Structure 1
Amino acid sequence: MLFNRSTSRTLKKLVSSPGKSLRAYSSKAKSTEDFLSSESAKVEKWWASRRFQNVSRPYSAIDVVKHRGSLPANTSVYPSSHQARKLFNLLEENFKRGTPLHTLGVIDPVQMSQLARCKKIKVAYISGWACSSTLVGSTNEVSPDFGDYPYDTVPNQVERIFKAQGLHDRKAFLEASIKGSVPVDYLKPIIADADMGHGGPTTVMKVAKLFAEKGAAAIHLEDQMVGGKRCGHLSGAVLVPTATHLMRLISTRFQWDIMGTENLVIARTDSCNGKLLSSSSDPRDHEFIKGIIKENVVPWSEKLIEMENKKVSNSTISAMEQEWYHENELFTFEEALAKSLTSGEFETYKAKKEDLMTNKLNRTYLSLREMKLLAQEVAPSKKVIFDWDAPKTKEGYYMFKGCIEAAIRRSLVFAPYSDLIWLETKTPDLEQARSFSSEIHKFFPATKLVYNLSPSFNWSAHGFDDKALKSFIWDLAKEGFTVQLVSLAGLHSDGVSFWELANNFQNDGMKAYVEQVQRREKESNCDVLTHQLWSGAEYVDSLMKVVQNGASSQTLSTSGESFTETQF
């Protein structure tokens, strides 16, 4: 420690009047203790409210207060928390009625404003895929959705949309206050895509903080690996262990508790379709990891490195990979067990397993070690060969059996620590959704579910007639899938409408524009027809009149004689 004159003077005071210094110290300590106690009581009361009646936390109120600093939480008021309360009430109401909160993904303020004018659409959605592929972020790059863009990309899009919502809300409220009408509700709660959280616990917390600061009422986090993330409808996605994703959900909640906000977190699982797992560290995943049932097989990763060292061509490596996995069929441990035991022995194994989990361990899984011990007990004379390391990828990823059972197991772990559960599917399947909902609601009857009405699905190829297509959303809602979204609706509608316009404009000129845009805007009452009014010109005029006490209202008004929109 370095001593200077100031330090020396402080030490002299402590020596000369120790009682006074200790009393001051004691007073400050007591004050801090009282503050911690008072704020913790407020947090506990807050947690006891209806908003959090179905939410679990592995930490205490004092943990939250100690990390907030000396400012009480109510000194920082986040608009997103107000939007979150609005969303929570909508969820409760619709879940109780079995009706949907269905919406479309928007990519800009224009689409947001048109969505808001639809009274039966109550929420807005912002997609990470759309941001990755259409929004120029800080790197000026657009790309497929691999989650490899800067982690503030989607929060910044949320801020853009939320600020636009605010402008249109103020504009509509001013108009309603003058005309005595009911304003359009432009403040639809925003649900946003947080991908996989973009990192470890502290990164997840920073991402959650950004979303809350910038206006998202809710975010969803998926159980994919940072660096191995793919769009849910691409191959090659790498899942993380159950515990890793649980940590992300807890980190998000902890951050929002520190901020004093009520934002909602959606736990999404891609395990229904996932084929790879980053680690075998969590025993809850062991039942779904696949291996080979042959002895003394050279692991694929070893063969791969050997071929790379020999400069074998890519095409040869690809062919050898297919050959290796063809010769070494993959099974989960219990699938391998079923091939090694008699049917009677396997039935005995399953009965003992159920008894062990239900009556002794009180859990829904066994680790690989426990499954092997149980198999040895049932059939001590038989050797069960199972190797889940040999088929691992070059990166060390395990082969995973993606299935609805895996999605259910993970979701049951995530449910207490999240506000909604998102099942990501490969096809639009009502029966699959119903079976998932049934299992989740056996244990958590109040859990709301989320469904992606993905444009990646070829809806016409899945046996839907017009009647079934029209009722699908409402049928899903009856099963507890309260939030439903066409994630990339804005992207596709933007693409097809502008393509049709551009394609015809190149030959028909203004005839194409008037027919495809202006006339349709008039006929459908689209308010972007008068785009100056849509952008808030009259609202700004009103601000100027207040500031200038009416002076220059004729000369500087945007609605003067040069205002072309009087033609409509």
Structure 2
Amino acid sequence: MLKHILTKGTMYKGARSLTSSTSQPSSVVNLKTFITDEVRKIENWWAQPRYKEIKRPYSALDVLKHRGSLPIESSRYAFSFQAQKLFKLLKDKFEKKLPLHTLGVIDPVQMSQLARSKELEVMYLSGWACSSTLVGTTNEVSPDFGDYPYNTVPNQVERIFKAQQMHDRKFFLEKVEGLTNDSTTDYLKPIIADADMGHGGNTTIMKLAKLFAEKGAAAIHLEDQMVGGKRCGHLGGAVIVPSSTHLSRLVATRFQWDIMGTENLIIARTDSFNGKLLSSSSDPRDHKFIKGTIEPGIKPWCDRLAELENLPTVTSEQIALEEVEWYSKHQVFTFDEALQKQVSQTEYEKYLKLKNEQLRDKQFLSLKEMKTLAFQASPTKRIEFDWDAPKTKEGYYLFKGGMEAAIERSLYFAPYADMIWLETKTPDLQQAIWFSSKIHETYPHVKLVYNLSPSFNWSAHGYNKEKLKSFIWDLAKHGFVLQLVSLAGLHTNGLSFWQLAKSFSKDAMKAYVDQVQRPEKLENSDILTHQKWSGAEYVDSVMKVLQNGSSSHTLSTSGDAFTENEF
């Protein structure tokens, strides 16, 4: 396999073990020996408890071949330690059936405030928030359609992570110099970030995973939506990709991180619970959920649409009305639903029996296999089923989303991911418990994620104060360990600033003092002294080292002109 590079006498500089951080690279060794040693190190790495349940469809040699000649320890990433920290937190909470709950932040200010909360041990960064509040290389803001440059969220991760490091250095200096006895603040809380649908094919996904890792994310989540058909999980019109496509995304992400020698975590999210469109029928795992018509000789909607668009006088309004009429007139069903409408109950029960026998040996049946079984159950009847006729203008298939689809997809994804995320329509505890029970029947180790979304009108779902307070802990009992209010930072930012703006327009500085300064002081907010918060005193300390004491009085940031002494 590697005959061309394993020529006798070929020499190569060795590398240190993945787990070593002190030994020096070995002397020049035979390349074949080096490869054997490094493959063993990778395999030993994968054998650790961290990867006990993770499936990889590639070998350690595949990783080594694509790693390059630079010793792996030459690029020890800080975020890899953050990933280890996150994994330990998740493991501990999952075993104790406790939540690792947190809030979505949008900037270093919110990061620094969340850091002061001992109970919130991780932080989340939303793609929705980045799309709607930040500017990427295009200097545009937009809804969450995933149409921004793919480095937008990684760049915000880097901004947050560098701010974490700055505040951590400042805080560490204060502790060393005995200026604080704070033992609860942790500025290096692991960042969990939104990778949307991967923004492209496998090579793009690998680049995206690399960016997230290099810039400081401990974990990312990838959803099974289509590039170009991406929507926020609480909007309509989302297009789901074939199960195999999303599996490839998960594998590509893991492979990239294996090449880098890092331990970042993958969250596989499915939007199939709300999904109504599928981009392709290429994967037989999805065939049971694709809808078709049962009337013979129907003119496909796309054919009719082409005719309408070719008419010189037709308007867009007329086309829209005819589209609604076409889908209202021609009902659509999954193959099983279509079959049940066209055969007797006895024949349908025979089909189900044959189908269940087949499913003992495999997880799914293709449409062709289902048609074969239908013929065996009812050989005298012609079964009508056309899933092409109702396809959309873009070529998308109609998809029966729901809990069954979400469970099946999650079971496909689970061996390749560290966590599973079910995106839901409503905050339904019983629904979540049912999902958890079905996943844990097969994979009891799987950690689940729940989006405590601000898109839900929580007050309209029958939750009283006690149930609202216990919801997170009730979910955690069923394996939903990671729980997050994805857009908490966005909403609190907008609300507090709107309240101030409204009051300031009338009461001027009274409003500012009443609504900002006094509450900051009352709540012991470190933002009250924003110069100190920003690290001015830390930089002052650095300058004293560089100046060797000279000009320490005249250049000190805490001199007579330092107005924060007033506080």
Residue 397 of structure 1, CA deviation: 0.3
Please say if residues 192 and 220 of structure 2, whose CA atoms lie closer than 8 Å, have aligned partners that are also in contact: yes
Deviations 1:67-93 (A, max 9, x none): 011122122101110000000000000
Structure 1 position 101 matched with structure 2 position 84: no
**What is the identity, as a one-letter code, of the residue corresponding to 2:321?**
A
Deviations 1:258-302 (A, max 9, x none): 000000010000000100000000000000000111011110011
Structure 1 position 413 matched with structure 2 position 412: yes
Residue 19 (structure 1) aligns with: none
In structure 2, distance between residues paired with 1:182 and 1:85: 24
Deviations 1:535-568 (A, max 9, x none): 0111111111111112111111111111111111
Residue 344 of structure 1, CA deviation: 2.3
In structure 2, distance between residues paired with 1:422 and 1:416: 14
Please say if residues 154 and 193 of structure 1, whose CA atoms lie closer than 8 Å, have aligned partners that are also in contact: yes
Residue 66 of structure 1, CA deviation: 0.6
Residue 178 of structure 1, CA deviation: 1.4
**What is the identity, as a one-letter code, of the residue corresponding to 1:281?**
S
What aligned pairs does 1:300-311 form with structure 2 within 5 A after superposition? 300-311=301-312
Residue 12 (structure 1) aligns with: none
Distance 1:316 1:33, change over 3 A: same
In structure 2, distance between residues paired with 1:381 and 1:141: 61
Residue 309 of structure 1, CA deviation: 1.2
Three-state SS of the structure 2 residue aligned to 1:296 is: coil
Residue 330 (structure 2) aligns with: 328
Q: TM-score, normalised by structure 1?
A: 0.94
In structure 1, distance between residues paired with 2:563 and 2:109: 21
In structure 1, distance between residues paired with 2:549 and 2:369: 81
Please say if residues 452 and 485 of structure 1, whose CA atoms lie closer than 8 Å, have aligned partners that are also in contact: yes
Please say if residues 448 and 482 of structure 1, whose CA atoms lie closer than 8 Å, have aligned partners that are also in contact: yes
Three-state SS of the structure 2 residue aligned to 1:265 is: strand
**What is the identity, as a one-letter code, of the residue corresponding to 1:501?**
L
In structure 2, distance between residues paired with 1:478 and 1:348: 40
Deviations 1:310-360 (A, max 9, x none): 1411111111011000100111010111111222222222122111110xx
In structure 2, distance between residues paired with 1:225 and 1:356: 31
Residue 78 (structure 1) aligns with: 77
Please say if residues 6 and 31 of structure 2, whose CA atoms lie closer than 8 Å, have aligned partners that are also in contact: no
Three-state SS of the structure 2 residue aligned to 1:476 is: helix
Residue 308 of structure 1, CA deviation: 1.0
In structure 2, distance between residues paired with 1:248 and 1:397: 20
What aligned pairs does 1:150-549 form with structure 2 within 5 A after superposition? 150-179=149-178, 181-183=181-183, 184-311=185-312, 312-358=314-360, 362-549=361-548
Deviations 1:494-542 (A, max 9, x none): 0011011111111111111111111111111111011001101111111
**What is the identity, as a one-letter code, of the residue corresponding to 1:322?**
V
In structure 2, distance between residues paired with 1:343 and 1:25: 71
Mean Cα deviation higher: 255-264 or 382-391? 382-391
Structure 1 spans left out of the alignment, 5+ residues: 1-21
In structure 2, distance between residues paired with 1:478 and 1:265: 22
Residue 135 (structure 1) aligns with: 134
**What is the identity, as a one-letter code, of the residue corresponding to 1:276?**
L
In structure 2, distance between residues paired with 1:139 and 1:465: 44
Residue 9 (structure 2) aligns with: 26
**What is the identity, as a one-letter code, of the residue corresponding to 2:295?**
K
Residue 118 (structure 1) aligns with: 117
Mean Cα deviation higher: 141-150 or 72-81? 72-81
Three-state SS of the structure 2 residue aligned to 1:26 is: coil
Residue 23 (structure 2) aligns with: none
| Amino-acid identity (%) | 66
In structure 2, distance between residues paired with 1:508 and 1:182: 37
Please say if residues 230 and 236 of structure 1, whose CA atoms lie closer than 8 Å, have aligned partners that are also in contact: yes
In structure 2, distance between residues paired with 1:255 and 1:229: 23
In structure 2, distance between residues paired with 1:150 and 1:431: 38
In structure 2, distance between residues paired with 1:181 and 1:513: 31
Residue 17 (structure 2) aligns with: none
Residue 197 of structure 1, CA deviation: 0.7
Distance 1:32 1:23, change over 3 A: closer
Structure 2 spans left out of the alignment, 5+ residues: 13-28
**What is the identity, as a one-letter code, of the residue corresponding to 1:26?**
G
Three-state SS of the structure 1 residue aligned to 2:196 is: coil
In structure 1, distance between residues paired with 2:344 and 2:107: 61
In structure 2, distance between residues paired with 1:272 and 1:173: 46
Three-state SS of the structure 2 residue aligned to 1:376 is: helix
In structure 2, distance between residues paired with 1:446 and 1:372: 36
Three-state SS of the structure 2 residue aligned to 1:188 is: coil
Deviations 1:428-486 (A, max 9, x none): 01111111111111111111000111101111111111111111111111110100111
Three-state SS of the structure 2 residue aligned to 1:174 is: helix
In structure 2, distance between residues paired with 1:333 and 1:296: 17
Deviations 1:51-109 (A, max 9, x none): 11111100000000010111221221011100000000000000000000111110000
Distance 1:145 1:24, change over 3 A: closer
Three-state SS of the structure 2 residue aligned to 1:331 is: coil
In structure 2, distance between residues paired with 1:62 and 1:558: 55
Three-state SS of the structure 1 residue aligned to 2:177 is: helix
Distance 1:23 1:527, change over 3 A: closer
Structure with greater helix share of residues: 1
Number of equivalences = 544
In structure 1, distance between residues paired with 2:295 and 2:449: 41
**What is the identity, as a one-letter code, of the residue corresponding to 2:289?**
F
In structure 1, distance between residues paired with 2:202 and 2:31: 28
In structure 2, distance between residues paired with 1:313 and 1:35: 69
Distance 1:374 1:23, change over 3 A: closer
Please say if residues 39 and 72 of structure 1, whose CA atoms lie closer than 8 Å, have aligned partners that are also in contact: no
Residue 148 (structure 1) aligns with: 147
Q: TM-score, normalised by structure 2?
A: 0.94
In structure 2, distance between residues paired with 1:241 and 1:227: 15
**What is the identity, as a one-letter code, of the residue corresponding to 1:316?**
Q
Please say if residues 453 and 486 of structure 2, whose CA atoms lie closer than 8 Å, have aligned partners that are also in contact: yes
**What is the identity, as a one-letter code, of the residue corresponding to 1:253?**
R
In structure 1, distance between residues paired with 2:468 and 2:343: 46
In structure 1, distance between residues paired with 2:71 and 2:428: 48
Residue 22 (structure 2) aligns with: none
In structure 1, distance between residues paired with 2:268 and 2:494: 30
**What is the identity, as a one-letter code, of the residue corresponding to 2:317?**
S
Deviations 1:362-406 (A, max 9, x none): 222111111111011011112211110000001100000001110
Residue 37 (structure 1) aligns with: 36
In structure 1, distance between residues paired with 2:452 and 2:353: 39
Mean Cα deviation higher: 83-92 or 341-350? 341-350
Residue 426 of structure 1, CA deviation: 0.6
Please say if residues 6 and 32 of structure 2, whose CA atoms lie closer than 8 Å, have aligned partners that are also in contact: no
Distance 1:23 1:191, change over 3 A: closer
